[in-house]
Amino acid sequence: MDPAILLIQCLNAVQYGLLLFLVASGLTLIFGIMGIINLAHGSFYMIGAYMAFALQPLVAQYLGGGFVLTVLVCVVLATVLGYFLEWAFYSYLYTREHLQQVLMTYGLILVFEELRSIIVGNDVHGVPVPSWLAGSVRLGDVMTYPVYRLFISLVCILVAALMFWVLTRTRLGMMIRAGASNREMINSLGIDINRLFRIVFAIGVALAALAGAIAAPVSSVYPGMGNAVLIICFVVVVIGGIGSIKGAFLAAMLVGFVDTFGQVFFPAAAGVMVYLLMAAILLFKPEGLFKH
């Protein structure tokens, strides 16, 4: 394979993997800390993308801002939405069995999908790449690579680094990590667990929405995008081990590479490669690469 093409595919794989990590980390955090399996997590990705599409003209008109500002607005709104949803709905799920959580969040997906349909409609939309990111870089003699895709990877890496810093260097991060391994202890330490959960949930939602917003220019905005990403995220979490951020990162990169190169080498079986990877991992490590 031409080294330039190999490099392009590697960059694609990394970018896809990093996006997946953003969404999957929220999912695994929410499950690891709060014990909630949230089927509607993919919907937040979809909401982020649709928000980016719908709010862009508004942000341009009222705030005079461009793409970056739109994304920031999306993230802020998503955080507020997450905070509200936890209070209004998800807080009632803690005491319920996983099965009930699965089905109630399944119902929530239907609600979200229909609300989106009412508010924005069912059409497929494109989100334009901002002009200052619309160029390409040269790779070798003939090949070029879109700057925007590099931008996506950069944003994801920055967010991941930020996440790592928060988790390891701040009090909030310490509480989160403690909560992940021992929920009962947190309560007895006098930490307001309700607020902690609300914050964690809001962060999870914000991460998914951010991923959706910045992915929108490349993947376009379409109704089924949330569900598609959700199932892949499940695979990431199964491979990485539930509750483990490290695992989610490694697994997301693995999935990114398998999917990208799978499409290159086995285009007919492209959609299936990721599941075969999962099956292979299950043969040797049924509890994921990093047990929580």
In the complex, which residues of this chain contact another protein (CB under 8 A)? 31, 37, 39, 92, 96-100, 102-104, 106-111, 113-115, 117-118, 227, 231, 234-235, 237-238, 242, 268, 270-272, 275-276, 278-279, 282-283, 286-288
In the complex, what is the shortest distance from the CB of residue 155 to another protein, in angstroms, rounded to a whole number? Answer: 27
Residue 78 in tokens: 């998503």
Q: Least Å distance between CB 110 and another protein?
A: 3
Q: Of 92 and 265, which has the nearer Cβ to another protein?
A: 92
In the 8-state DSSP scheme, what is residue 60? I
**Among 56, 69, 60, residue whose Cα is nearest residue 221:** 56
Write down the residue that tokens 């229909």 correspond to.
114
> Min. distance of Cβ 141 from another protein in angstroms?
34
- ∠ CA(45), CA(48), CA(49), 5° rounding? 90
Residues in the chain: 292
Alpha-carbon distance 26 to 233, whole Å?
10
* Cβ distance to another protein smaller for residue 27 or 155: 27
Which residue lies nearer to another protein by CB, 63 or 111? 111
Number of C-beta neighbours around residue 165 at 10 A = 11
Q: Choose between 108 and 139: whose C-beta lies nearer to another protein.
A: 108
Nearer to another protein, 2 or 287 (CB): 287
Shortest reach from residue 227's CB to another protein, in Å = 7
Q: Which ranges of the chain would DSSP assign to H, the alpha helix?
A: 3-34, 41-58, 67-88, 98-119, 147-169, 171-181, 183-188, 193-219, 225-240, 245-265, 270-284
Nearer to another protein, 127 or 281 (CB): 281
Burial 45-65 (b: 16+ CB within 10 A, else e): bbbbbbbbbbbbeebeeeeeb
Q: Shortest Cβ distance from residue 40 to another protein (Å)? A: 10
| Min dist. Cβ of residue 257 to another protein (A) | 18
